[in-house]
Structure 1
Amino acid sequence: MVFEELAVRLNDKGYKNWLKAGHCLRILKEGLHVFTNTEMRAFHGDLLGQHAILRRPCQSSSCTAGSTRNKPSSVCAVCSEWRTVILRHHRQPNITVNWDNCRPSSWLHDHWEVAKAYMPRGQFRVAGADQCDASALLNLINHCDRFSSVDPKLVREVIRCRNELMHSCELRVEDEWMRHYQASLKMLLQRFNHVAEVASAAKRIQEMLVADWSVCVSRLDRVDAAHVDGLQTTDQWETGADLISQWEVELLQETLQELLHDTEAQHTEGLVRLKDFLQANRDLGEQFSAEIQALHSLGARGQGHQRTEEDEDQTI
């Protein structure tokens, strides 16, 4: 298989930076899985030990956490106490809590249902740490006082970088941004150097960020880069291209979902540019054909809605 289009994209320094930075987030979340799961399991056990009422089962199978700021829509006395305790351990108690992430009736038995109260919206179907993205785990560390030993400023700076990356309309970042991103990741990961999985992730991230990934297209496609994740890409470009292409598709899928789930971003420049980018690259256009068609339909509905509003304005 020839990867000429991928090679051209990787010769764009800004796009290569964007891709590498995005993959570092995936490495980061893998490093945090075991740590956050272990900590939240212990946190859950502590809550049960400290509050007798929490050891009682939910009194109604129909308890729902709701979605209106800090007020669940319908909970029993036991789940109401869970809510109070969860808020008590929130490092930013005045922030909007995404209660609709949670199944209150499962708070007694499932520590991860408690963890999801400290995360961004959209976590309802997520069953464990291994299914979370970097944003969810970083927000958990930032918001839950179980992680009070970690400076929230360091966590929030990585979250800020992550959000800038995922909402980059250009799908590219400059070298200066990358240097700041690398420094922010390093400072945060140093706080977890006692955790084996995080220390391993930190090493992989460092290797990823210093890898060259300069690409040449000749009779045999190849990439000149450092040894990354056990891959000698200089002599094994076919293998390297497969792996890099996989990372690229995963990051583009995550970016697309991020924009689609952000109601403020729908029908805006980000989605339009992402659609145009996918269409402009034949290999990506083939892989994302269904998504491109969905974006076309979304755009058509948006234009129809806009025309209806304009007609109504003229009528008035």
Structure 2
Amino acid sequence: MVFAELSVRLNDIGYKNWLKAGYCLVKLRDGLQGFVKNEMRDFHQTLSRKNPQLRKGIQCRQGCKPRGNQFYDLCEQCKTWKEEILKHHTSRDACVHWGNCRPWLWSTEYWEMAKAYMPRGQLDIPGPEKCDAAALLNLINFCDRFNFINRQKVREVIKSRNELMHSCEMRVTPQWIVQYERKLEELIQELKHVPEVTSAGQEMRELLSVDWVVHIPGQDYVDGDESQFVDPEVISTVEAEILQESLRELYLKAQEDSSANAQQLQELQKLRGFIEANKDLKEQFHNQLLQVDNLYLPADLLTNQESKRYKQEEEHDKEEGYVPQKKKKTLV
């Protein structure tokens, strides 16, 4: 049966709570997207109008871009935009992920500027519609355009979100859920002037009050369970989105760190073990797990793989009738 394995997973109260908490983040994200889009578009226009250098409307002609997380030889226009971004950052000590941005578009694309206030991994995200909740919440927290919002309320939700996504067991307790719901309510009150957030808040309350049950045809249920039934397609989609986000964070951590620490390896092993233990998830996330696993292969194994590949290429070249130039081995 298509959702039989999902139904079994939902018998675990801790996992069910984990999914519910993740679903709340999805709803919060949906409620924030339009609000953040309007605010940052207006903010970009304000900066362009008030700064004399930016008011000239000059566009970058040399394709300025960061190397890693650093800039070298910025043109005057991009340098001015960088200064403005830092001026409006709420934390002078925070790491700004310049690698999120395409600086040559700062003059014309408001979202390229907005991404400087977000966590790493946003380079190919074209707008708020493709962001996760963490990206939008960090933008609100680190850009002073949102000074009218109590930043502590935002940080509390970010903290809970990180606890949720970094949970090796992918389970949370009922007590944790109670505290989480309180933090969400406090943030929603801060944004009660945003209709989409208010609506999202109502949906969160409703989903947290229901004990999710997936109906499997042919199975018997206790009378009254029908009121707890949730569309299995909805739960399955949310589950996939949350697991995908966890995998993505692991991948970004692995890319950023040259060597995996014990905690990262533990998170990866737990997540891999959980997915591989569930046939439906294993099939769905097979390629993503391979992509993450490859980043943790020992250096000598990678070297052996590269050597084998080059040997195969050379043998192929000889079969084609010519001797290739010696190739430089570059590990990616």
Which TM class, normalised by the smaller chain length?
A: 0.7 to 0.9
- 1:61 maps to 62
Residue 163 of structure 1 aligns to a residue whose secondary structure is helix
Taking only the aligned residue pairs, the percentage that are identical comes to 44
Q: What's the CA shift string for 1:87-133, capped at 9, x where partnerless?
A: 11111122111111111111111111111111111111111111111
Would you say the 8 A contact 1:7–1:215 is kept in 2? yes
Secondary structure of 2:167's aligned partner: coil
Aligned twin of 2:83:
84
Q: Which residue of 2 aligns with 1:193?
A: 192
Amino acid in structure 2 at the alignment position of 1:60: R
Contact 2:62 2:75 in 1 (8 A): no
Q: How does 1:101-116 map to 2 (within 5 A)?
A: 101-116=100-115
Counterpart selection for 2:250 from 259, 277, 286? 259
Q: Which runs of 5+ in 2 are unaligned?
A: 303-332
| Residue matched to 1:122 | 121
Q: Distance in 2 between matches of 1:221 and 1:107?
A: 59
SS of the equivalent of 1:288 reads: helix
Deviation of the 1:275 alpha carbon? 0.9
- Equivalent AA in structure 2 for residue 5 of structure 1: E
Q: Does 1:284 align with 2:281?
A: yes
RMSD: 2.5
On the 8 A contact 1:216/1:223 being kept in 2, the answer is no
Tell me the residue number matched to 2:17. Answer: 17
Residue 283 (structure 1) shift: 1.8
Q: 1:2 deviation in Å?
A: 4.3
Q: 1:61 to 1:6 in 2, by over 3 A?
A: same
Per-residue deviation, residues 212-244 of structure 1 (Å, max 9, x unmatched): 1145767237799999xxxx763xx7xx12221
**Can you list the C-alpha shifts for 1:246-273, whole angstroms capped at 9, x where unaligned?**
2111211111111111135676111111
Aligned to 1:270: 267
Question: Which whole-Å CA distance do the structure 2 matches of 1:226 and 1:149 have between them?
Answer: 44
What's the offset of the Cα at 1:86? Answer: 1.2
Equivalent position SS for 1:93: coil
Largest Rg, 1 or 2: 2
Shift of 1:53: 0.7
Q: What whole-Å deviation, never above 9, does each CA across 1:261-299 have from its counterpart, x for those lacking one?
A: 113567611111111111111222222233344455455
In structure 1, list runs of 5 or more residues that go unmatched: 306-316
